[in-house]
Amino acid sequence: MTGRLSVVGLGPGAEDLVAPRAHAAIEAAGHLLGYAPYVARVPPIPGQERHVSDNREELARARHALDLAAAGHEVAVVSSGDPGVFAMASAVFEAIEDGPAEWRAIDVQLVPGISAMFAAAARVGAPLGHDFCAISLSDNLKPWETVLQRLEAAAGADFVVALYNPVSQARPWQITRAFEVFGRHRVLSTPVVFATAVSRPDERIEVATLATAASVAADMRTVIIIGSSHTRVVDRNGPGRWVYTPRWTRVPA
C-alpha cells in the first residue's frame, strides 16, 4: 500500500497568494518536508511531523518524502513559488527515475504556485507580455560556461529574460557579467526590473536600465527582469512607473 506525495508551491511569500489547493494538501499531510525557511511559513498543524533540511539537499529530501509515501503516509513537500520552476518537482521525478520500482506506483500530485517572476511582473505591469524565458544564474548544478551560453542565446534572440538566483555571497560577480552580455545586444536604456522579497513585508521594487543596473542591490531573494528591445516604460500619475512588453513584434523594414 502506498500513500500520496504532494509537491506544493507556496507562492512568493504573501499568505493570500497561496492557492486553496496548496492549503488543503498541506493540511492533509501527516508529514511535511522542505527547506527550513519554507516550512516555517506553514502554520503548525496538530499531529503533523515536520522534516526540515538545507537548501542544497533537494534530492535527499525527495527520497525521504518518497520513502514516507511508499510506506503509506500522506506527505507534502513545500517549495517557494511554483514547485516546477527551479524547485522540488524536478528533484522528486529525478529520484523516482533512479529509485526503486515501487516509487513509480506512488500517487504524486503537483500543486502549482505563483512563481516569483509572475509576482514580480505583476508589481510593475506586464514585462512578460511577449516571448520570455527564465534563467538561473546559479552554477551549483551546471557550469558557468553553460549559463553564459544561455544568456548569450537569450539576449541575441531578444527574449525578455527573468533571472533567478542572481547574487550570492560566493558569486557576487556573475550578475555583472550577465549585464555585460545583454549590453552587447541591447541599448542601454532597456528597462531592468529588480524585485526583492515580492509580496513580503520587506518587498523592494526598483525599475532601472541596463546602464544603471550594475549599481542596484540584489540578493538571492531578487528576481531580475531584463526587457526586450520592445519593452516600454510608462509614467504613472502617481508613484512608480509601469513596465510592459507589447504583444506584437515589429520586424525592421
Q: Specify if 249 maps to a domain.
A: no
CA distance 231 to 243: 7
Greater confidence (166 vs 2) lies with 166
Greater confidence (49 vs 140) lies with 49
Query: pLDDT confidence of 156, banded at 50, 70, 90?
Result: very high
- Count: domains in the chain: 2
CA distance 129 to 116: 16
Domain boundary among 114, 146, 171: 114
Q: Specify if 212 maps to a domain.
A: yes
CA distance 51 to 83: 18
pLDDT of 253 above 60? no
pLDDT of residue 215: 94
Q: What is the pLDDT of residues 177-209, one digit of tens each?
A: 999 999 999 999 999 999 999 999 999 999 999
| Same domain for 104 and 130 | no
Which residues is 136 bridged to in the sheet?
164
Please, what is the Cα angle at 110 between 109 and 111, to 5 degrees?
Answer: 115
Instruction: Report the CATH number at residue 223.
Output: 3.30.950.10
User: What average pLDDT does the segment 218-242 reach?
Assistant: 93
pLDDT of residue 252: 59
Contact 79, 38 (CB under 8 A): yes
Predicted TM-score (pTM) of this structure: 0.94
| Same domain for 146 and 103 | no
Please, what is the Cα angle at 117 between 115 and 119, to 5 degrees?
Answer: 70
Domain boundary among 64, 83, 114: 114
Q: What is the pLDDT of residues 130-148, one digit of tens each?
A: 999 999 999 999 999 999 9
pLDDT of residue 96: 98
Question: What residue spans of the chain are helical by DSSP H?
Answer: 20-28, 36-39, 58-70, 88-98, 116-124, 144-156, 174-183
pLDDT of 1 above 70? no
User: What is the DSSP secondary structure assignment for residue 210, as one 8-state letter?
Assistant: T
Q: What is the pLDDT of residues 81-109, one digit of tens each?
A: 999 999 999 999 999 999 999 999 999 99
Q: Give residue 185's domain range.
A: 117-244
pLDDT of residue 81: 97
CA distance 123 to 98: 40
pLDDT of 3 above 70? yes
Q: List the grid coordinates of 99.
A: 529509485
pLDDT of 234 above 90? yes
Contact 33, 88 (CB under 8 A): no
| Same domain for 103 and 38 | yes
pLDDT of residue 31: 98
Among 105, 143, 122, which residue's Cα sits nearest to residue 193?
A: 122
User: What average pLDDT does the segment 156-177 reach?
Assistant: 94
Identity of the amino acid at 209: T
Q: Specify if 148 maps to a domain.
A: yes
Query: pLDDT confidence of 251, banded at 50, 70, 90?
Result: low
pLDDT of residue 56: 85
| Same domain for 94 and 126 | no
Which residues is 50 bridged to in the sheet?
32
